[in-house]
Amino acid sequence: MKKRFPILLVLLCFCLIGLAGRGTLSRAATPVEKWGRLSVQGTNIVNAGGKKVQLKGVSTHGIAWYPQYVNSSCFKSFRNMGVNTIRLALYSNPADGFSTKLYGKVEEGVRAATNLGMYVIIDWHILNDGNPKQHQKQALKFFTRMSKKFGKQKNILYEICNEPNGNVSWDKDIRPYANKIIKRIRKYDKKNIIIVGTPTWSQDVDIAAGKPLKHKNIVYSLHFYAATHKEFLRQKLKAARKAGLPVLVSEFSICDASGNGAISKSSGKKWMKLLKRYKIGYVAWNVSNKAETSSLIKSSCQKTGNFKKGDLSKTGRWIAAYWKK
Ligand code: IDC
């Protein structure tokens, strides 16, 4: 016994040095270290251990307009405030800045989020091009490239059509589009979650629930702007959940649907309560200092990273209180 004691001590020291070297002792675990690869089980997103988890994210503004916020220092400051997910919004419409030249920016963002151990949503941001079929060819190319590059990582989510709108049907347009894109992504990425937009600017989750896709690890997006979208949209969410549909709020704010106007804390509160009850994740629009009420950064703040609470707008501060909960 007497002889063995020093050997055990030496072994223990080696273990401690090893752990410290990997940074395990010197810093807190990152979101991806804590949860590992996400998947969909029933109505919920779960972590690698099968436990229901709630993504808390921020979305960039269109990266053609605000590329300066796609950087590690920016993402890290949100991680420090409790955010675990970054959404990179690439508008798919040329009139809204789309260019294949922006692929590099998206990739830079994915790498920055990955190095910080954060989840990252690669968002094909259709908006004024309301029918996802309109730029389907480009979408196929984009997701082929992204899934080839990042499909083996466990922190990736793909959002394949931000907000279908106009004369667009779930059955005839979105569902066939989604089947094509999903099939392509699954060639290179067998497992990571794919987020599918729903009709009427990603509000009609009840319609998607009537005829969901047959693939695995799919969630359907519901977007709300709390000052505009109130009880009628919360009812749609309740109906979709009842029907067994897994939903993610991959974009929201507490102002009106224009991204500006007065904010509604009372409607925002009702939404947050409901999302907590269902354990549904939410991603806040948008990381910029643009003079509109959805911006998370104060207009007077010229920094592009190392943000503190005091740099956040009124909307930003209200939402940030939920990141810590
Ligand atoms: C808005 C931006 C605004 C920009 C506009 C471009 O906040 O600065 O000029 O897009 O069309 C969405 C969209 C999102 C919108 C946002 C606010 O996904 O792109 O951003 N919104 O209108 N859906 C509902 C609201």
| 159 CB near ligand 1 (under 6 Å) | no
179: pLDDT confidence band, cut at 50, 70 and 90?
A: very high
Angle between helices 231-242 and 265-278 (to 10 degrees): 10
Ligand 1 pocket, mutate which of 282, 283, 285 (most atoms under 8 A from CB):
285
pLDDT over 70 percentage in the chain? 92
Task: Evaluate if residue 1 carries a pLDDT over 60.
Answer: no
Q: Is 251 a catalytic residue?
A: yes
Atom of ligand 1 nearest to the CA of 258: 22
SS3 24: coil
Task: Evaluate if residue 21 carries a pLDDT over 70.
Answer: no
How far is 5 from 288, CA to CA, in rounded Å? 58
8: pLDDT confidence band, cut at 50, 70 and 90?
A: low
How far is 308 from 23, CA to CA, in rounded Å? 24
Work out the average pLDDT over 85-89: 99
Task: Evaluate if residue 318 carries a pLDDT over 90.
Answer: yes
The model's pLDDT over 106-156, given as tens digits with 9 standing for 90+, comes to: 999 999 999 999 999 999 999 999 999 999 999 999 999 999 999 999 999
Q: Is 231 a catalytic residue?
A: no
Residue 26: per-residue pLDDT: 74
| 257 CB near ligand 1 (under 6 Å) | yes
How far is 94 from 88, CA to CA, in rounded Å? 17
What's the whole-model pTM score? 0.93
Residue 15: per-residue pLDDT: 56
Work out the average pLDDT over 254-262: 98
The model's pLDDT over 260-304, given as tens digits with 9 standing for 90+, comes to: 999 999 999 999 999 999 999 999 999 999 999 999 999 999 999
How far is 217 from 305, CA to CA, in rounded Å? 33
Exposed, middle or buried by CB within 10 Å (0-12, 13-18, 19+), for 82? middle
How far is 148 from 92, CA to CA, in rounded Å? 20
Catalytic position from the list 33, 107, 251, 292:
251
| 292 CB near ligand 1 (under 6 Å) | yes
The reply to whether omega before 289 is within 30° of 0 (cis) is: no
Task: Evaluate if residue 232 carries a pLDDT over 50.
Answer: yes
Instruction: Say how many Å lie between the CA of residue 316 and the centre of ligand 1.
Output: 16
8 Å CB contact between 143 and 124: yes
Residue 170: per-residue pLDDT: 98
| 76 CB near ligand 1 (under 6 Å) | no
Task: Evaluate if residue 82 carries a pLDDT over 70.
Answer: yes
8 Å CB contact between 283 and 202: no
Catalytic position from the list 33, 108, 159, 163:
163
Q: What is the dihedral of CA 233, 239, 240, 243, to 10 degrees?
A: 180
307: number of Cβ within 10 Å: 23
